[in-house]
Every structure is written in C-alpha cells, then in structure tokens.
Amino acid sequence: MAKVRTKDLIEKFDLELVSGEEGINRPIMTSDLSRPGLEMAGFFEYYPAERVQLLGKTELTFFSQLSTSEKRERMDRLCTDITPAIIVSRELEIPEELIEASNRESVPVMKSNLKTTRLSSRLTNYLESMLAPSTAMHGVLVDVYGVGVLITGKSGVGKSETALELIKRGHRLVADDCVEIKQEDENTLVGSAPELIEHLLEIRGLGIINVMTLFGAGAVRSYKRITIVMNLELWDPNKQYDRLGLDEEKIKIIDTELPRLTIPVRPGRNLAVIIEVAAMNFRLKRMGLNAAEQFTNRLSDVIEDSDHDHS
C-alpha cells in the first residue's frame, strides 16, 4: 500500500499539473528529493530516478543554454517509468522538451509558486511525516502532567475506566482502544486516535461517551509523544511485583524502546492515582532525581547505622 501518491502532493501543496497526468497515481516511496543539476549537464550515472525531482532557476537557466538535441536527450532521460513527479518552482517557464517527454512517459510535471529551497524543505517535512514507520496498538493513550502514558492490558482489565478517572482529574485523552503510532525519528513515537474514534471513550455499561462534549476541549489532545507504557494486569498472588521500582522493564515499539511498568489491578486500588504518581515520578527521574535510588540509599544507610548501634 503506497502511503503517498503524486496526486497527494498536488492537493497538499496546491500545485498546478502541467503534463503527464496519467502518472498522478505513482507512489512516492522516499522522502529524499533530487535537484538534478548534474543530470542537466548530462551526468546520469547516479540519477536517483525514484525521487521527486525539483527544477529551480539554477537548473533551468543552465538547461536553456543547451542545444536542441541535448535538451531533448536530457529530458528524455529525466523522465523514467519510476519518476513520481517533476516539480518546477517559482512559476518558471516549463521547457517544451520536458512537456513532450513527460507526456510520453506519463511522468507528472507540476508548477509551484514557491522558491525551490522553501518548497524543498516543506516537501521533505511532509514526506517524512507521511512515510514514517507506523503501527497500531491496542491500548489507551493519555497525557498525564505532560507525560504521554500508553495504558495497555487485556480486554476488560479497566483501561478505559482508568482513563475516564484520569480525565475527570484534569488529564487529557488522546486515544481509546486503538492507538495509531508513528515513529518520527529514532527515539520519538507519537500516538494519535484513528479519525473515526477521536474524542470517544467506550465504557462497559455506559456505552460510548464523547469526552470533548462532556468535559470540554481541554480534556482531549489530537496527538502526543508516548513516553512510558503502563501495563495493567489482574493481580496474581503468585507473582513477585517490583516494590522498590528499581528494575526497569522495557518494551520495543517499531524501533524505539520505552520504559514499561506493570501495575497489578485489584478492587480498591485507585489506578488513576497510581498512574499520576508514576507520571510525576517519571518526570522527576528525567530531571535526574531518582526517588527509588535515593530511597534505597537512605535505607541501606539506616540499616548500616542500626548494625553499628547493635555491635
């Protein structure tokens, strides 16, 4: 499934389609762009044909000085069966040779009124975000004190109910049940809700509630960077749970590792408060105050002192 096609660029950047319109469904597979200056000079050894090609003033001024046969030959080689688009910036005049070659090979040629560098950076940003690796996860994403907390766990463990309690306490819902996750760069995962279920929370017994209409616009966010995963599981009396918070579990989503806490669920435990404290604690750790370590150090000091007293 191609995530981006040439026609998406035409819509997104308000480009004017000049020729080669049979190719507007071509897929764009890379966010790298090409400014084929060397190609205009006849050097096609390393021509990255699969990229979007940008022609600016520099390339076209040079091109205008070539002989007629050279002009034809260069544009023929520029238009290949995998070139997704050729964009001419600054509303420059489009060479006749390019129009002919593009119609023959069905390579869409578009015009933009932006300067080449401006167009280049905006295109790159757009393509990088569209082509970023993505996945979907079952869970609830909430912004708690500015920390993106992804709540996971089996169906029926109480993820949505916990989210509802957090929203009532002033935190913000990003997505319930299904979280779409994009990896924006090496260590950044951003989660959002599928359009269909944005702002909605499903609570067993109540049905579907619209968080935005019930709690106002401040109770929702459309996307949030995921920082920590809280996994809710039903209390298992035979399992050892981490009491000091020293062993950090990790979970890998796409290529990024995130810290994961496992929180045992049983009646009478207020999970929302536990998650709030975990989020605050995480912020403290990020600021370099590791409460668990400090506590352990203090504890061992106390133990050593009492040992001395007894000896």
pLDDT, residue 244, reads 65
Question: Is 230 found in the same domain as 118?
Answer: no
* Closest by Cα among 238, 280, 286, 237 to 258: 286
Residue ranges of the binding site for ATP:
153-160
Model confidence pLDDT, tens digit, residues 89-123: 988 999 999 999 999 999 999 999 999 999 999 99
Query: What pLDDT is stored for residue 269 in this prediction?
Result: 83
What mean pLDDT do residues 63-82 have? 96
* Residue 64 sits in the same domain as residue 106: yes
Total domains present in the chain: 2
Is there a single domain that holds both residue 51 and residue 83? Answer: yes
Mean of pLDDT over the chain: 92
Q: Is the pLDDT of residue 311 over 80?
A: no
Beta strands in 30-157 (DSSP E): 33-34, 52-55, 86-88, 109-111, 134-138, 140-144, 147-153
Q: Is residue 308 part of a domain?
A: no
Q: Are 248 and 303 in contact (CB under 8 A)?
A: no
Angle at 188 between CA 292 and CA 288, to 5 degrees: 25
Active site residues: 138, 159, 177, 243
310 within a domain of the structure (yes/no) = no
Between the alpha carbon of residue 127 and those of residues 80, 114, 131, 136, 179, the distances in Å are: 21, 17, 6, 20, 21
Q: Is residue 214 part of a domain?
A: yes
Residue 251, domain CATH: 3.40.50.300
Position 1 in a domain: no
What domain range includes position 15? Answer: 6-131
Residue 287 has pLDDT above 90, yes or no: no
pLDDT (tens digit per residue) in 184-201: 888 899 999 999 999 999
Can you tell me the mean pLDDT for 244-255? 82
Q: Which pLDDT belongs to residue 62? A: 96
Known binding-site residues equal 153-160, 202
Whether residue 248 has pLDDT greater than 80: no
Residue 305 in domain: no
Cβ-based burial of 13 (10 A; exposed 0-12, middle 13-18, buried ≥19)? middle
- Binding-site residue set for Mg(2+): 160, 202
